[in-house]
């Protein structure tokens, strides 16, 4: 298994500050994003590598363990360390940088459930073997998930994104609640109450499906979030909450800067010029699937809504999609010259537009 030099991946020194790490990550992610270089396999590989490096170095705890691991990498392989000290030392053993962590994500230790963000793209199949060995875990496939609709229909919620959340046991059927660290509330059937973890995903991730890493009693598990989830959706992982409990991920999808979501339908504004509205045109418009050319009919009025079938959100647990509603917003030219003003007056006289107020 090859050692991953995350500092080299981001092109930063080992003394880099968190601000420098963030700046380098954003620059490289923009340069190699699949939307910027569609179909470029090399750029996609770099994008994934940059995401993986940022996942570790942007987290002070992971970065500290990674830096310690770097000094002891040869010991993990079983060869003598520098100067012969600590030959064969196990970084997973007592006193090692990964003490208390299980190899490959297996095993368990004390503690509750913790969710952490990943910055990878929604279609990313996973991090490298190196990452999974030291920072990741197993993967729960879609077959392990029970996606349940819930919460406010079409609501997106508000608030700031958190870098992590500890799970608390949810109440059972009789209302008993279990705590974050293994309290034993039970439902009417005598089963242990499930443990809940709150998870935030972007609208793009909700549309395409994504993954998150959950830590359960010291064991880290990579889980798949299905397409079409919304704020209030709940994803159940049976038996993954520790002590035989189910783990329930409670989803939140924050508001998007462009799209507004109503159930499976999306809506957005589209600015067009006066020429495009008057004479008609084909105008590029961004959807969650990429850019498409939208036909603006001649004489389109400001505020007209054009429906793009099947360009909305996937419907959870169904092979169906909502629509994208594009609201046309005509932008008038500003700061007309005297010549342009005279030409506009002549045009309007020729157009002979009647009074729209009926006066």
Average pLDDT, the chain: 73
Residue 9 counted as domain residue? no
What local confidence, expressed as pLDDT, does residue 280 receive? 96
The CA–CA distances, whole Å, from 129 to 121, 133, 134 equal 18, 6, 9
Q: What CA–CA distance (Å, rounded) separates 13 from 21? A: 9
Q: Residue 336 maps to which CATH number?
A: 2.60.260.20
pLDDT of 94 strictly over 90: no
> Which of 29-38, 109-118, 130-139, 276-285 has the least mean pLDDT?
109-118
162 and 232: one domain? yes
Domain count, the chain: 2
Residue 67 counted as domain residue? no
Q: What CA–CA distance (Å, rounded) separates 91 from 210? A: 31
Query: Which residue reads 């170095």 in tokens?
Result: 57
Residue 321 counted as domain residue? yes
What local confidence, expressed as pLDDT, does residue 100 receive? 43
pLDDT of 210 strictly over 80: yes
Q: What is the DSSP letter of 120?
A: S
- With bands split at pLDDT 50, 70 and 90, how would you rate the model's confidence at 134? low
What local confidence, expressed as pLDDT, does residue 132 receive? 65
Residue 271 counted as domain residue? yes
CA 211, 56, 129, 6: dihedral to nearest 10 degrees?
A: 130
170, 248 contact by CB (below 8 A): yes
176 and 194: one domain? yes
129 and 265: one domain? no
Residue 266 counted as domain residue? yes
pLDDT of 151 strictly over 90: no
> Which residues are paired to 319 by β-bridges?
none
240 and 339: one domain? no
324, 260 contact by CB (below 8 A): no
Strands 234-237 and 219-225 come out as unpaired
pLDDT of 92 strictly over 80: no
Burial 11-50 (b: 16+ CB within 10 A, else e): ebeeebeeeebeebbeebbeebebeeeeeeeebbebbbbb
226, 209 contact by CB (below 8 A): yes
Last residue of a domain, one of 193, 225, 255: 255
309 and 250: one domain? no
Last residue of a domain, one of 255, 278, 311: 255
Over pLDDT 90: what percentage of the chain? Answer: 37
Q: How many CA atoms lie within 13 A of 159 on its CB side?
A: 11
231, 155 contact by CB (below 8 A): yes
pLDDT of 202 strictly over 70: yes
The more confident residue out of 16 and 99 is 16
Query: Which residue reads 């537009």 in tokens?
Result: 353
What local confidence, expressed as pLDDT, does residue 253 receive? 93
204 and 285: one domain? no
What local confidence, expressed as pLDDT, does residue 263 receive? 92
CB-based burial of residue 348 (10 Å sphere; 0-12 exposed, 13-18 middle, 19+ buried)? exposed
The more confident residue out of 54 and 34 is 54
Could you list the residue range(s) of the whole structural domain that residue 301 is in?
A: 260-351
| Span 298-351, pLDDT tens digits | 999 999 999 999 999 999 888 899 999 999 999 999 889 999 999 999 999 999
Span between the terminal Cα atoms of the chain, in Å = 80
Average pLDDT over residues 286-293: 92
What local confidence, expressed as pLDDT, does residue 192 receive? 78
What local confidence, expressed as pLDDT, does residue 136 receive? 54
- With bands split at pLDDT 50, 70 and 90, how would you rate the model's confidence at 116? very low
């Amino acid at each position: 298994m090859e050692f991953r030099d995350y500092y080299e991946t981001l092109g930063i020194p080992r003394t880099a500050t968190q601000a420098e790490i963030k700046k380098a990550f954003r620059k490289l992610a923009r340069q190699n994003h699949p939307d910027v270089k569609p179909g470029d396999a090399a750029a996609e590989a770099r994008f994934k590598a940059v995401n993986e490096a940022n996942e570790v170095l942007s987290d002070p705890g992971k970065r500290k363990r990674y830096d310690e691991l770097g000094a002891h990498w040869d010991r993990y392989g079983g060869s003598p360390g520098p100067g012969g000290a600590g030959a064969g030392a196990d970084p997973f053993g007592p006193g090692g940088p990964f003490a208390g962590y299980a190899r490959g994500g297996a095993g368990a230790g004390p503690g509750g459930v913790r969710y952490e963000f990943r910055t990878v793209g929604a279609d990313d199949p996973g991090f490298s073997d190196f990452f999974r060995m030291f920072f990741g875990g197993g993967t729960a496939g879609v077959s392990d998930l029970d996606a349940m609709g819930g919460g406010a229909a079409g609501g997106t919620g508000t608030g700031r994104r958190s870098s992590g959340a500890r799970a608390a046991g949810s109440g059972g059927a009789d209302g008993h609640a279990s705590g974050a660290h293994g309290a034993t509330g039970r439902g009417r059937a005598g089963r242990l109450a499930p443990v809940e973890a709150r998870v935030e995903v972007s609208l793009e991730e909700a549309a395409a499906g994504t993954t998150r890493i959950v830590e359960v009693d010291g064991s880290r598990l990579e889980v798949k979030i299905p397409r079409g989830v919304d704020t209030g959706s709940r994803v159940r992982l049976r038996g993954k909450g520790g002590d035989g409990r189910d783990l329930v991920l409670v989803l939140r999808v924050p508001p998007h800067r462009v799209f507004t979501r109503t159930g499976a339908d999306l809506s957005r504004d589209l600015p067009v010029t006066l020429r495009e509205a008057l004479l008609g045109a084909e105008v590029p418009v961004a959807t969650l699937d990429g850019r498409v050319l939208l036909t603006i009919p001649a004489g389109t009025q400001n505020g007209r809504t054009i429906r793009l079938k099947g360009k909305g959100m996937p419907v959870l647990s169904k092979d169906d999609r909502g629509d994208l509603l594009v609201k046309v917003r005509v932008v008038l030219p500003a700061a007309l010259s005297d010549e342009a003003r005279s030409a506009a007056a002549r045009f309007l006289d020729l157009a002979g537009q009647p009074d729209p107020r009926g006066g």
